[in-house]
Every structure is written in C-alpha cells, then in structure tokens.
Amino acid sequence: MSFFKKLKESISKKTESVTNVFKDGLSKTRTALVEKVQDLITRRKKIDEDFYEELEEILIGADVGVNTVMKLIDDLRSEVRKRKIEDAAELQPVLSEKLIGLLRSEENTGLQMNKDGITVILFVGVNGVGKTTTIGKLAHRFKQEGKKVLLAAGDTFRAGAIEQLEVWGQRVGVDVIKQQSGSDPAAVMFDAVQAAKQRGVDVLLCDTAGRLQNKSNLMDELNKIYRVIQREIPGAPHEVLMVLDATTGQNALSQAKLFGEKSGVTGLVLTKLDGTAKGGIVIAIRQELNLPVKYIGLGEKMDDLQEFDSEQFVHALFAGLIRDAEELENEEKVE
C-alpha cells in the first residue's frame, strides 16, 4: 500500500467535518508551501544545486525554521544519492514523507485532566496573541462536553483584560471570578479556587498577565500564582498552556523558548493559523521545542479552536499530493 493511501485510510477514520475545518484553515499555508513545492518539481526536472536552493527558500519562507530546513535538505541529499534519484518528480513522495515525519509524534497531545477533582489550566503568553479568546473558546468546548467551568481574571494589569474575559464569560454562559484592576493576581486565583470548590466546578481556566517575557517581575508573579494554586489543590495547575500567534512566525518560536524555559509550560496553543501562509511554524516548533502543540486556532468562530492532530494537519496540507498519488495509481492499474 502506498504512503499516501495509508495516510488517507488513517484520516478516513476521523470525522469529515474536522478534516474540512483543517483544510479551510490551512489554505494559505498549503498555497505557500505544498503548491510551491509542486510547482518547483514541475519546472525543474533535474535535481541539482539550484533545485535544492529554491526548495530551501520555499521551506524557510513558510517558517519551517532554518535549522529544520538544513537538516531536511541534508536528509534529502542523502536519499537522492542512496536511491540514485535523478528526476525531481521521483523526489515528491520522499519529500512529503520527510515533512510528515517531522510533524508526527507518538506523544499524547490531549489535555491532562484531574480525575479526582477540579482541573486547573493556567494560560500564559504575551499580550495580543489571542489568549483571552482561546480561554473563551476552550470554556465553550468544555461546556459542550457537559463540564461545569469557571474563569479566573488573573490579568489585572492590562486595561480592559478583565472586561474582555467577562464578555467571553457571558457569551459562553460561564462565571468569571475577578477583582478590581491592579489587584494582586495571586489573590484573584485564591478566590477563584475557593469559588470552584464551593460550586463543584470541573474545570477552572485561569488568565494571567501577558507583559513581555523578559520582565522578571512577571515571572515572580507567575510563581506566586503557582504556589497559591498548588497549596489549595495539590498537583495543580494540571496544564500550563502558552498561547502563541502563528502569524508572527519565528517570533512566536522565540517567545516560546524564552517563556517556556521560565514558566513551566506543558503545552502550546497556536492561534490565527488560518490568517498566515507561515503555518510551517508548527513544524519548526515541534522540532525545536520539547513541547506538544495541544490546540490550534483555525478561525474566528466559537468552534474554530481544534485539538491538534498531526494526521489531520498533514492531510489538510498534502490533500493535493494525495489526489495526485491516487490518480497515478489508478492510471497504472488501467495500463
């Protein structure tokens, strides 16, 4: 069975609606990455230095990451020599397999939930990345699953942050625990944990301040929040999700490296993937950071926050290649 056929059969077990959400949300990246690679292979019949250089430019342009691209090109050179490939068209399935291999992971990307009480999820990240929106959308997902949810407005420093979270709370029908602007975030978390216990809440989603990661006082504040939560609920927070804006590309990767080292991040949420042609940043992040991507944002609607699924992601990007491979197989059968 061909590589692409195996991939399609694996995807066919998933729901068609989710597949379509991924396809629509990744259309810009598909155009920038896969279609450009297909065009390169069509134009340049021969694999030479010019071919490798142009392929390198395409991959770096999609924010796959310089280190990852250099390793990938070296692997391709090795495969070309080993298999004695001369025609660029023969390299297409090899390249596709290599890219898919970079994305695939055996690790569980699902959320770690507390089986014996309240699950506490802390959200970190710089301002403007879509943190509050992500919290609102995740609250909606949990509510759809029948869970009782509470929000904690721990970003007490940014003007309008509390009100923004309240708007999302109203939209999804979830209460928000808050104090006045400028209050101690750890005190807000203490109140939120007490309220969660009293109300029999299943999931507590906590917003935090998002000032730049090089501010040491922000890290001190986060550590204080951790201590308060851990004291009240042993083992919490069960997840610390860092929210990144995919449209910022390599800057998002830099933020994840700096913030992740200092704040105990357990997973990543990549927002606004539908708004960028640089979705290759997902590949770069999975290669350069030892952190799983838990969710990706693929649109503005309430349901457009999707659990990250490497097979769905790959299928959405390589749908054209899969069709081409099927057509080629069918032609060979006819002959």
pLDDT in tens, 68-80: 899 999 999 999 9
Binding site per annotation, positions: 125-132, 207-211, 271-274
N-terminal to C-terminal alpha carbon distance within the chain: 18
Report the percentage of the chain scoring pLDDT > 70: 85
pLDDT in tens, 175-199: 999 999 989 999 999 999 999 999 9
In angstroms, the CA 335 to CA 315 distance is 28
pLDDT greater at residue 125 or residue 134: 134
Confidence of residue 319 (pLDDT cuts 50, 70, 90): low
Binding site per annotation, positions for GTP: 125-132, 207-211, 271-274
pLDDT in tens, 71-121: 999 999 999 999 888 888 888 778 877 877 777 665 667 899 999 899 999
C-alpha torsion sign, points 106, 145, 192, 243: positive
pLDDT given for residue 8 in this prediction: 58
User: Among 174-183, 251-260, 278-287, where is mean pLDDT lowest?
Assistant: 251-260
Report the percentage of the chain scoring pLDDT > 90: 44
User: Among 4-18, 139-153, 158-172, 183-197, where is mean pLDDT lowest?
Assistant: 4-18
pLDDT in tens, 200-209: 999 999 999 8
Mean pLDDT comparison of 45-49, 184-188, 252-256, highest-scoring range: 184-188
In angstroms, the CA 280 to CA 78 distance is 23
Single-letter amino acid, residue 132? T
Confidence of residue 254 (pLDDT cuts 50, 70, 90): confident
User: Does position 332 have pLDDT exceeding 50, yes or no?
Assistant: no
Which structural domains are found in the chain, ordered by start?
22-107+313-334 (1.20.120.140), 119-310 (3.40.50.300)
pTM of the model: 0.85
For the sheet with 293-297, list strands across it: 175-177, 149-154, 203-208, 119-124, 239-245, 267-271, 293-297, 305-307
- Burial status of residue 301 (CB atoms within 10 A of its CB: 0-12, 13-18, 19 or more): exposed
Region 268-273: what's the mean pLDDT? 92
